[in-house]
Amino acid sequence: MSSLSEQLARKREERRDDEGRCTEEGESASSFIEFVTADDRVHGFAYSQLMNYRLEKIPDSEHKSDAPQDRLQLFFSTHDVTLTGWRLREFLRLLREGRVAAVRTGDPRYANLRKNPPFVVSITVEAVGKK
């Protein structure tokens, strides 16, 4: 049996490993994907409701040099979800494989802590027809 200090050290290491990570991958294909917005609200959608998506570079006129570069719009049957961040093309690969279980926003200061994983700084969820 491990000591309390060993358990706490493992927990700290797990938390440190999560810094700079905005996506949670499932071990197998997920049936739902969760979006956790900055106000800590969780929105869940079935993968089967995803109708299409669009990834685009945010034009220079819309952001400063250190602002997010990518915008990804996901169109579900009842809601539209927009993610902004960096390296969202990698997010699409995980999405196509059904491996994304959850997405949450991260503090922009951690955006380059890890070079490869997608990083999301903004998530908006809008019901279809409310625009």
User: What pTM value is reported for the model?
Assistant: 0.76
What does the pLDDT look like over 18-45, one tens digit per residue?
Answer: 555 677 777 767 789 999 998 999 999 9
Alpha helices in 38-112 (DSSP H): 88-96
What tens-digit pLDDT sequence spans the chain (131 residues)?
Answer: 567 677 666 655 554 445 556 777 777 677 899 999 989 999 999 999 999 999 999 876 565 667 788 999 999 999 999 999 988 998 998 899 888 989 999 887 777 766 678 889 999 999 998 75
Give the pLDDT confidence score for residue 15 in this predicted structure. 46
- Domains of the chain, by residue range, sit at 4-127
What single-letter amino acid sits at 96? R
Give the pLDDT confidence score for residue 98 in this predicted structure. 87
Q: What DSSP line would sit under the chain, residue for residue?
A: ---HHHHHHHHHHHHHHHTT--EEE-SS--SEEEEE-TT--EEEEEGGGEEEEEEEEPPGGGS-TTS--EEEEEEESSEEEEEEEE-HHHHHHHHHTT-EEEEE---GGGTTTSSSS-EEEEEEEEETT--
